[in-house]
Amino acid sequence: MTESLAASLLQQAVELHQQGRLEPAQALYRQVLELDPHRVDALHLLGVIARQQGDAAGAIDLISRALAVDSTQAPPHCNLGVALLDAGRADDALASHERALALNPSYALAWSNRGNALRRLKRLEEALESYQRALQIQPQYAEAHCNRAIVLQDMGRYLDALGAAEDALHIKDRNPDAWLARGNALHCLRYLPEAVESFDRAIHLRPDWAEAYVAQGMSLHRLGEFGAAVDSYDQALKHRPDYALAYYHRGNALRSLDRREEASAAYRAALAHGDNPETIAFALASVGEGETPAALPDDYVRSLFDQYANHFDQHLTEVLGYKTPAVLDALIRHVAPSSELATVDLGCGTGLCGPYLRAYSQRLYGVDLSQPMLDKAAARAVYDDLACTDLLTYLNQRPVAWDLAVAADVFVYIGDLAPVFSAVHAALRPGGRFCFSVEAGDGADYVLRPTNRYAHSLDYLRRLAAEAGFQILATQAMEARQENGAPIAAHALLLCK
């Protein structure tokens, strides 16, 4: 009698659960467990509901109890893995999904969830392979296509990410995660109006989604629609008042509107809700508060250029009228370099200087913080070696190695140039040349502008050169680029050790 009642209650609970009626299903699962405390299905599915309600710890406890009774079924292992990932235990989550797959190698859901754990562990190639295994088993699995789009985005393969997101949407167009993934890919490919529209679709399907509002705000900001961007960030904060990233980007939009006091308040709110103090320090400095940081954080610069790599050259040359490599080349040629130089291109980016420098370099090396930028530089086939690291580390490991060091539009991300000048001097051979550009400042040695770029005074550069042991061979006033249709004044300098 007890067994038949428990079975009947369990069947009713499962039906309610499948209809999304979690609380009555939960109540019935508990009644089943009162009749049979070791009922595996009731323990497992009660754990699934706990996870659906945001109680990862409760889910882990209940599903683990189910597995203690019977560990031979794949679904509880898979659902335990999802709950463990929710709890931040990615290694344990991976192990659970692999136990599920050992029991059922054709379990597409477990392959996809295994990919999620691998992605959290930054094992992106393995995560991609896991999603592909899921799709081999179940080609119409929209969530696996979407997860694949997310990991391709993480890998900087934005066009592939766009294709994977659209594959997901062709199968299931009411998929907010896929619309968000599509929007993120379009944003990075600079199809900004289309990105905004994609984020709109995600928000329509999930109106309280703070992350989607922030993503939309970032695209609006890039379009120059700063007021609309602020509105998006406000919506994000309405739904998630402790969202540090929304406060930070709201501050950036307010700064672009020259509403500096409000920008400062937004940055301070971001800090209060856990944002990186180093990031906030330079954000506050850009609106005139606090001490000017010596340099922008490496993580900020790396992230900026990782996303910028695919369209960097076109944006600089066609939109911003960027001519710095040609100006530096003319300065270097003015002192008649030989064709046998050992040259290092500091902050080489996509290698825009490379073709110029190759003409007088027997060896040409490049260094940059961003691997996607270096991948573009490698495609030019003009560098002998490329390294992904910071400038000081690279230079300090190579004393007296170079005849020529070049830094085109690099020092806009570094305020205090004294350590760089010292490191370059030590890395150059006697008589070696150092050619670089800066945005032109006046008065203070260096200032951080609202563009998050440093400007340096010529007097400061002359003083640093003398202190480091350089002789100034030439200086030239120039226009670095266009900003909102106006030229940005800059200096190019050529020094000699």
Asked whether 427 and 367 are in contact (CB, 8 A), the reply is: no
- Residue 316 DSSP one-character state: I
Token duo for residue 178: 């896929």
Token duo for residue 71: 């560990």
CB atoms under 10 Å from CB of 145, counted, come to 27
Q: What is residue 104's predicted lDDT score, i.e. its pLDDT? A: 97
pLDDT band at 411 (very low <50, low <70, confident <90, very high): very high
Asked whether 309 and 350 are in contact (CB, 8 A), the reply is: yes
Q: For 97, how many CA atoms within 13 A lie in the half-sphere containing its CB?
A: 27
Asked whether 59 and 48 are in contact (CB, 8 A), the reply is: yes
CA 71 vs. chain centroid, Å, equals: 39
Token duo for residue 114: 């295994």
Domain annotation covers residue 360:
yes
Asked whether 481 and 316 are in contact (CB, 8 A), the reply is: yes
pLDDT digits (tens, 9 = 90+) for 285-303: 888 887 777 777 777 776 7
Q: Is 290 helix (H, G, I), strand (E, B) or coil?
A: coil
- Segment 74-87 mean pLDDT: 95
Domain annotation covers residue 392:
yes
Range of the domain at 423: 302-496
Domain annotation covers residue 115:
no
Place of tokens 């400061």: 460
- Segment 440-449 mean pLDDT: 86
Q: Is 435 helix (H, G, I), strand (E, B) or coil?
A: strand
Domain annotation covers residue 320:
yes
481's enclosing H/E stretch is strand 471-483
pLDDT score of 305 more than 90: no
Tell me the three-class secondary structure of 72-109, residue by residue.
CCHHHHHHHHHHHHHCCCHHHHHHHHHHHHHHCCCCHH
Minimal CA–CA distance to 325: which of 405, 412, 402, 436? 436
Highest mean pLDDT pick, 12-21, 252-261, 298-307, 445-454: 252-261
C-alpha span between 71 and 64 (Å, rounded): 9
pLDDT score of 66 more than 80: yes
C-alpha span between 352 and 482 (Å, rounded): 17
pLDDT score of 478 more than 50: yes
Asked whether 465 and 433 are in contact (CB, 8 A), the reply is: no
C-alpha span between 398 and 169 (Å, rounded): 51
- Segment 367-378 mean pLDDT: 90
Token duo for residue 257: 């509107």
pLDDT score of 311 more than 70: no
C-alpha span between 201 and 207 (Å, rounded): 10
Q: What is residue 32's predicted lDDT score, i.e. its pLDDT? A: 74
CB atoms under 10 Å from CB of 216, counted, come to 29
Residue type, 304: L
Domain annotation covers residue 477:
yes
Asked whether 128 and 141 are in contact (CB, 8 A), the reply is: no
Q: Is 8 helix (H, G, I), strand (E, B) or coil?
A: helix
Instruction: Break the chain down into helix, strand, coil percent, rounded to 5.
Output: 60, 15, 25
Q: What is residue 167's predicted lDDT score, i.e. its pLDDT? A: 97
Q: How many domains does the chain have?
A: 1
- Segment 117-135 mean pLDDT: 97
Q: Is 114 exposed, middle or buried (0-12, 13-18, 19+ CB in 10 A)?
A: buried
- Segment 377-385 mean pLDDT: 94
Domain annotation covers residue 41:
no
- Segment 112-120 mean pLDDT: 97
| DSSP line for 128-184 | HHHHHHHHHH-TT-HHHHHHHHHHHHHTT-HHHHHHHHHHHHHH-S--HHHHHHHHH
| DSSP line for 354-391 | HHHHHTTEEEEEEEES-HHHHHHHHHT---SEEEES-H
Domain annotation covers residue 403:
yes
Using left for φ > 0, alpha for ψ between -120 and 50, and beta otherwise, residue 36 falls in beta
| Cβ-Cβ contacts under 8 Å for 143 (sequence gap 6 or more) | 112, 168, 175, 177
Q: The CATH number of the domain where 441 resides is what? A: 3.40.50.150
pLDDT score of 308 more than 60: no
- Segment 216-243 mean pLDDT: 96
Between strands 428-441 and 402-407, the pairing is parallel
Domain annotation covers residue 65:
no
C-alpha span between 158 and 439 (Å, rounded): 31
Q: What is residue 317's predicted lDDT score, i.e. its pLDDT? A: 46
pLDDT score of 313 more than 50: no
